[in-house]
Structure 1
């Protein structure tokens, strides 16, 4: 069972998200929060697998809550939900280690799949959000392209295979199955990839994969 906390300052939005995710027999909503402070308190109380985090909330906002939650021991996965075409806070949440970014205008199936994906260690990036994140984070340009291509060139052949699947949002178990490797071996490859690409987490690595045209433009 996947335990979820929903953090959003709109009662109707929380009710809608709860109704959607609980159609899955594998997901249960253990608590709701109307602001970031409540999200932190509920996460500490219930130790959920995932926090569905709105960014625009009163008092401690979603960014504040994400930063604090992800410094906790054994933190939950944070899946950011936003209604904005672009919010600068998303880039900060990315650096804090959020596992995914979705526009709220998504289908129920996409949301349920996203929750399952991040729990399995994967990354979920809405194409609309990703494109705009690249504008702010990656700053596409010939100099940037040359730099990331040079870093990617440091990857071994096996690391390139793992990197391509990581960029598609696959978790370690899925990568392990596709490449016929042990999960521990995949974890080792992922750690080395992050070091060689000079990124802090899988989500940032997935953005690099997107910029290198390795991340599909389809999905949640």
Structure 2
């Protein structure tokens, strides 16, 4: 079973974003609270879990995620989560 053309396009787009991003670039475009939500997305957290962890309402968590999508140029929370996960790995590699 192969990968469909739309999936290939999405994968290519995410790879392009990751290749041009540096962790410090993300830090400079997101507010501290957006960055916190971004990394929680990278851990696979739900909106409800993000809200609880951050001590905010689900509506506020969704607003942070909306801003993250807007600022990073990705279309879905899954893409944002994958990008956050990749950034966390890049940071770990640089620190380790």
Measured against the shorter chain, the TM-score band is 0.7 to 0.9
**Is the 2:39–2:88 contact (alpha carbons within 8 Å) kept by the matching residues of 1?**
no
Q: Pick 1 or 2: higher relative contact order, CA cutoff 8 A, min separation 6.
A: 2
The aligned residue for residue 18 of structure 1 is none
Aligned residue number for residue 138 of structure 1: 15
Question: Within 5 A, what are the aligned runs for 1:61-100?
Answer: 87-89=2-4, 92=7, 95=10
TM norm structure 2: 0.72
Question: What residue in structure 2 maps to residue 111 of structure 1?
Answer: none
Bigger CA radius of gyration: 1
Q: What is the aligned length? A: 87
TM-score by length of 1: 0.34
CA distance in 2, matches of 1:182, 1:167: 19
- For the pair 1:188 / 2:63, whether they are aligned, the reply is yes
Which is helix-richer, 1 or 2?
2
Aligned to 1:206: 81
1:211 Cα deviation (Å)? 1.8
Unpaired stretches in structure 1, ≥5 consecutive residues: 1-55, 57-86, 96-132, 215-220
1:94–1:204 CA contact under 8 A, matched in 2: no
Note the aligned Cα RMSD (angstroms). Answer: 2.7
